[in-house]
C-alpha cells in the first residue's frame, strides 16, 4: 500500500504508530531518512554481504539484541539477515520509505519457525515439548510476523545515528532495532532483554542456555568445542562484578565468534576465545578465563555451515 501511494502521489511512508522522541537519556535527537540527511555517505540497506561490523551499539542499552544481530550477520553468508528483509526478491531500501522486517515473535497463533531461511515455512501447531540429552534444550512457541516501519532514524548532534549505527553506512541493523522497538512500544523498552529471546526473534531457532558456573571445566570446554565445530550461533553475557584487569564490560552481552581450545581442554596455553563487543571491539582471551569472566552462554542450533 505504501509503495502504491508513493507511485500515485509521490509521498513517502511515515509510520505514525512509531513515535519519535526528541530526547533520550538526556541526548537531543533529530529524525531523518539517512539518505536524505547525508546523501554524500551513500546510505544503503546492505553494502555487499551483512557483516558483524555493521552492528555498533549507540545510546540505548540493548546489547542483548545487538550481540545477537552481529552473530547472525556472520553466519550462512549473511542469508539469515537477508531473510529478514526480502522484498519481492530485492535487497534494497524502498523508494517509498517503507520497510518490512520479519521477526519471529511469541504469541498466538504459534508456530515452529523451524527454518530461518524460509520464514514462512513454520507450521501453525504447538511445538513439541522436547529436551536434549542434557535437559537444556529450549523451544519457544512463536510465529514469523511482518513489521512495517519507515526509514526515519534518530541522529544526535554529531550527525551520527543515536542508536544502532554502522561505519559502513548501512541501515539493516538499525531497521531491525526499530522494528522491535515498535513491537515493544519504544526504544527505551529494549533496555536489558534476554539473550535467548534475541536469537529466537532473529532465527526462530531453538537455544540451549549454559550457566557457566554450573559446568566443570572439561565439560564446558567440550560443549563449546562441539558447538564451534558445528558452526552454531553463540552469544554470551559477562558477570555482574567489574574486574579492572579485564577488558570485558560487566553485565554486558557479546557475540562469541570462535572457540578453539586444542585437543587438551585443561591446557590454558592452547587456543583462545574470540568475543565481539556490540560497541565494535573484538577481544581474544584464553578459554580458561570463561569461568571467571562469563556468566551465561546461549547456543542457537542454526549452523553457519547449513545451505
Q: Which DSSP string corresponds to 174-204? A: HHHHHHHHHHHTSSGGGSS--HHHHHHHHH-
252 is catalytic: yes
- pLDDT at residue 269 in the model: 53
| Residue reference for cell 537519556 | 25
Tell me the three cell numbers of residue 263: 585437543
Q: Strand 207-211 vs strand 137-138: parallel, antiparallel, or unpaired?
A: antiparallel
Which residue out of 32, 88, 252, 283 is catalytically annotated?
A: 252
CATH 3.90.70.10 in the chain, residues?
207-300
Q: How many residues does the chain have?
A: 307
| Rounded-to-integer distance, Cα 93 and Cα 271, Å | 42
| Rounded-to-integer distance, Cα 297 and Cα 276, Å | 14
Q: Tally DSSP H helices, then E strands, for the chain.
A: 8, 13
- pLDDT at residue 103 in the model: 94
Measured CA to CA in angstroms, residue 168 lies from 45, 165, 175, 303 at distances of 10, 9, 15, 26
pLDDT digits (tens, 9 = 90+) for 96-122: 899 999 999 875 333 444 444 433 343
Q: Strand 233-238 vs strand 294-300: parallel, antiparallel, or unpaired?
A: antiparallel
| Rounded-to-integer distance, Cα 119 and Cα 255, Å | 23
| Rounded-to-integer distance, Cα 261 and Cα 233, Å | 18
| Rounded-to-integer distance, Cα 10 and Cα 181, Å | 27
- Structural contact between residues 118 and 203, judged by C-beta atoms closer than 8 angstroms: no
- pLDDT at residue 78 in the model: 86
Which residues, 6 or more positions from 188, have their beta carbon under 8 angstroms from its beta carbon? Answer: 24, 60
- pLDDT at residue 220 in the model: 87
- Structural contact between residues 169 and 43, judged by C-beta atoms closer than 8 angstroms: yes
Tell me the three cell numbers of residue 145: 510476523
Domain 207-300 has CATH 3.90.70.10: yes
CB atoms within 10 A of CB 38: 14
Point out the residues of the chain with pLDDT beneath 50: 108-140, 305-307
| Residue reference for cell 520497510 | 99
Amino acid at each position: 500500500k505504501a509503495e502504491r501511494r508513493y507511485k500515485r502521489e509521490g509521498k513517502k511512508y511515515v509510520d505514525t504508530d512509531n513515535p519519535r522522541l526528541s530526547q533520550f537519556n538526556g541526548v537531543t535527537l533529530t529524525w531523518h531518512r539517512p539518505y536524505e540527511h547525508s546523501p554524500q555517505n551513500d546510505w544503503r540497506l546492505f553494502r555487499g554481504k551483512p557483516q558483524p561490523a555493521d552492528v555498533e551499539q549507540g545510546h540505548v542499552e540493548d546489547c542483548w539484541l545487538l550481540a545477537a544481530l552481529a552473530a547472525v550477520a556472520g553466519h550462512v553468508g549473511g542469508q539469515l539477515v537477508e531473510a529478514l528483509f526480502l522484498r519481492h526478491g530485492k535487497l534494497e531500501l524502498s523508494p517509498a520509505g517503507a520497510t518490512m522486517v520479519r521477526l519471529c515473535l511469541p504469541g498466538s497463533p504459534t508456530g515452529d519457525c523451524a527454518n530461518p531461511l524460509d520464514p514462512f515455512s513454520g507450521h501453525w501447531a504447538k511445538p513439541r515439548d522436547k529436551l536434549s540429552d542434557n535437559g537444556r534444550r529450549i523451544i519457544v512457541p512463536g510465529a514469523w510476523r511482518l513489521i512495517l516501519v519507515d526509514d526515519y532514524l534518530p541522529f544526535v548532534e554529531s550527525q551520527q545515528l543515536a542508536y544502532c549505527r554502522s561505519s559502513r553506512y548501512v541501515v539493516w541493523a538499525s531497521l531491525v532495532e526499530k522494528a522491535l522497538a515498535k513491537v515493544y512500544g519504544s526504544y527505551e523498552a529494549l533496555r536489558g532483554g534476554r539473550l535467548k529471546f534475541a536469537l529466537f526473534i532473529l532465527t526462530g531457532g531453538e537455544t540451549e542456555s549454559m550457566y557457566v558456573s554450573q559446568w566443570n571445566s572439561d565439560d564446558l570446554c567440550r560443549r563449546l568445542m562441539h558447538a564451534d565445530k558445528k558452526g552454531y550461533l553463540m552469544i554470551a553475557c559477562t558477570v555482574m562484578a567489574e574486574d579492572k584487569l579485564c577488558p570485558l564490560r560487566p553485565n554486558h552481552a557479546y557475540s562469541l565468534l570462535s572457540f578453539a581450545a586444542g585437543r587438551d581442554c585443561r591446557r590454558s596455553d592452547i587456543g583462545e576465545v574470540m568475543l565481539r563487543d556490540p560497541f565494535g571491539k573484538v577481544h581474544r582471551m584464553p578459554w580458561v578465563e570463561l569461568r571467571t569472566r562469563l556468566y551465561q552462554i546461549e547456543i542457537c542450533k542454526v549452523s553457519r555451515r547449513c545451505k
